[in-house]
Structure 1
Amino acid sequence: VRAARDAATGSVVRPSTFNDRHFKCTTAGTSGGSEPAWDTTIGNTTADGSVVWTTEQALTIEVTVDTVTDSGVFTVVYSGDAPDALLTGGLLTFIGGHNANVPPIEVKTWVLSTRTITLFLPAPFNVGGITDSFLGLEDGSGNILLEGGDDLLLESGDVLKINAGCAKDRLACISFDNIYNAQAEWYVPGTKVLFRTPNAQ
Structure 2
Amino acid sequence: MATPIHSKLINKAAREVLKPAGLVRKGQSRIWLDDNKWWLTMIEFQPSSWSKGTYLNVGISWLWYPKDYLSFDIGYRESSFVEFKDEETFLKEVIELAKKAKDKALNHRHSMSSPELAKEFVLKNTIDDKQNIWACLHKGMACLCASDISNARTHLENVMQCKENRDWANSVKGFAQLLLNLKPDEQLFAMQDAIMKSRKLIKLPEIEGLFSNRA
Q: State TM-score, norm by structure 2.
A: 0.27
| Structure richer in strand, relative to its length | 1
Q: State TM-score, norm by structure 1.
A: 0.29
Rg larger in 1 or in 2? 1
